[in-house]
Amino acid sequence: MLLLLLFLVAVLLPPRARAGEIIWGWEAGRHYRPYMAYVKIETGGDGEGGCRRLLIREDMMVTAGHCNCNLGNITVLLGADNVKIDELGKQEIWVCRQILHPEFNDKTDENDLMLLQLRHKAKMTQAVGTIPLSQEMVKKGAVCSVAGWGQTSIKTNAQPSPTLQEVELTVMGKRMCLSRPYLHYVPSRMLCVGKPQERKWPFLGDSGGPLVCDGKAQGIVSHGSGDGSTPSVFTRLSKYVCWIKKTLRKRKP
């Protein structure tokens, strides 16, 4: 399944919106995040890939469940810093299977998780690599980061960034997300993430992108507010490590 033209999957839908922006971020260093993947969907029309994936095995990626689609053939672009130009080290691989979490709820975004199996193994290089999944609960106050190629502005006509952007975020206490009625937040399965209260900058992470803390993936961007204000909700990966490992064993490379 896969190939060419790009399609915008993540759109702003108030009051609870799919995440699709990297606001107040900065350009990531060259090959600084070799686990990041840019999705390309063959739809017969123009567009930009809105959901991100992270490579956890040479042939397997993790993303958000709400990125599940049957819009066309899918490829992932690995080793890309700028998706608009030719770069040495880029690898484009077809996706052969989408494995949605069996209890994903597209109305509440519970269990917002999906695996993508690649048709063949990616070649591990300086530009392409995997990231480990954390099995430990991340603590409140931890400073983590999110990266992606999403919009860098909340303006409706803003264009996605061609270069990989990143932003630092803080893991917040559960009360902050529970106090936002527009968010569906389940503390045991989700993380509440945002900017510190004294820095009320807007933010929406790139859908399906990883929340990375101390070099490990702790969360997957799920949903947030329609205006880009914090906090945002992330799928808590430590809750799903057993399911992911079980699925990987079944889908040997």
User: Does residue 104 sit within a domain?
Assistant: yes
What DSSP line would sit under 37-77, residue for residue?
Answer: EEEEEE-SS------EEEEEETTEEEE-GGG---SSEEEEE
User: Does residue 27 sit within a domain?
Assistant: no
45 and 118 assigned to the same domain: yes
pLDDT given at position 56: 94
Could you give the number of structural domains in the chain?
2
56 and 175 assigned to the same domain: no
pLDDT given at position 28: 54
153 and 108 assigned to the same domain: no
State the CB neighbour count (10 A cutoff) for residue 199: 10
244 and 228 assigned to the same domain: no
pTM given for the model: 0.81
User: Domain range holding 217?
Assistant: 143-238
Decide the pairing of beta strands 36-42 and 52-57: antiparallel
Report the CATH number at residue 95: 2.40.10.10
pLDDT given at position 3: 27
User: Does residue 119 sit within a domain?
Assistant: yes
126 and 244 assigned to the same domain: yes
Catalytic center residues: 66, 112, 207
231 and 245 assigned to the same domain: no
148 and 209 assigned to the same domain: yes
User: Does residue 19 sit within a domain?
Assistant: no
Is residue 60 within 8 A of residue 9, CB to CB? The reply is: no
Q: What is the DSSP letter of 207?
A: T
Q: Give CA–CA dist 101/247, Å, rounded.
A: 10
**pLDDT < 50 stretches in the chain:** 1-15, 17, 20-26, 45-48, 197-203
User: Does residue 17 sit within a domain?
Assistant: no
pLDDT given at position 6: 25
Q: Give CA–CA dist 24/26, Å, rounded.
A: 7
pLDDT given at position 127: 92
**121-171 residue pLDDT tens:** 999 999 999 999 999 999 999 999 888 886 665 555 666 778 888 888 899
Element (H, E) at 192: strand 190-194
pLDDT given at position 20: 44
233 and 160 assigned to the same domain: yes
pLDDT given at position 167: 83
User: Does residue 9 sit within a domain?
Assistant: no
pLDDT given at position 155: 59
42 and 126 assigned to the same domain: yes
220: tokens are 């997957």
Q: Give CA–CA dist 75/37, Å, rounded.
A: 10
157 and 126 assigned to the same domain: no
229 and 147 assigned to the same domain: yes
pLDDT given at position 202: 47
Plot region of 135 (φ>0 → left; ψ -120 to 50 → alpha; else → beta) = alpha
**Angle CA 125–142–206, to nearest 5:** 55
pLDDT given at position 49: 52
Q: Count Cβ atoms within 10 A of the Cβ of residue 115 and give its class: 0-12 exposed, 13-18 middle, 19 or more buried.
A: buried
